[in-house]
Amino acid sequence: MATLALADDALVLSHRLGEWAGHAPVLEEEVALANIALDLLGQARVLYAELGDEDELAYLREERAFRNCQLAEQPNGDFARTIARQLLFSTYQELLYARLAEHGHPLAAKAVSEVAYHRDHAEHWTLRLGDGTRESHARMQSAVDGLWRFTGELFQPVEGLDVELSALERAWQERIASTLDAATLTVPEGPRTGAWTAGAGRQGVHTESFGRMLAEMQHLHRSHPGTSW
């Protein structure tokens, strides 16, 4: 369950970031987001390979079979929302992989350096937007506020994930609070858990936009089954 959840997180967020291709605000950012997406895709492939056929797992499962967190599947929205999603998720992923690496997890030891870059990239833009113009500050604060309710799920127990989640959550909260403070942004006061967590992404219940994203992601493979390229 834990391997599948981590793989689905990486695949889904990779696809979301890939949607920026041709739409990023500047060429340099187009390349950066594409590289992050490719890192995540590579992580997903390694993890899926531990479970079975990676193409079948990515392209032939139905929506309810995916175990990614709901944060990873949230639509890109504007650039500020994409950065806020990346900050919240990559900070969690870096802390998680660092702890898994301590326990000898083969992927985590390699991926933690990649994820550190993802987090650093998100922090850079959070500071730039949060402490920028009145418009960029407002958009960044709105993005963090809108995604905040999806973060509680990151620290819910996952079968097979041998990590002290309470300590992980405290470290995550401290890092996020520090980054938001430096960006002149406010940590949202709304709940990070609620009724939605009982049927969250880890249990195969996803938000409305996920079905549309999955249909797009799986369309080519399902339209031409068995084709080799």
- Domain boundaries of the chain, sorted by first residue: 2-223
pLDDT value at position 219?
A: 86
| DSSP, res 183 | T
pLDDT of residue 107: 81
CA pseudo-torsion sign 154, 157, 162, 167: positive
Tell me which CATH code domain 2-223 carries: 1.20.1260.10
Nearest one of 49, 36, 35 to 6, comparing CA atoms: 49
Please answer whether residues 143 and 88 qualify as being in contact, where contact means their C-beta atoms are separated by less than 8 angstroms.
no
- Amino acid 1: pLDDT: 85
DSSP 88-135: HHHHHHHHHHHHHHHTT-HHHHHHHHHHHHHHHHHHHHHHHHHTS-HH
pLDDT score at 191: 66
pLDDT at 198: 44
Mean pLDDT in runs of 10 for the chain (229 residues)? 96 96 82 95 96 95 96 96 98 96 86 95 98 98 96 93 93 98 94 57 94 91 78
Q: How far apart are CA 210 and CA 207, in angstroms?
A: 6
pTM of the model: 0.93
CA-CA-CA-CA torsion sign (164, 166, 171, 175): positive
The whole-angstrom separation of Cα 187 and Cα 98 is: 24
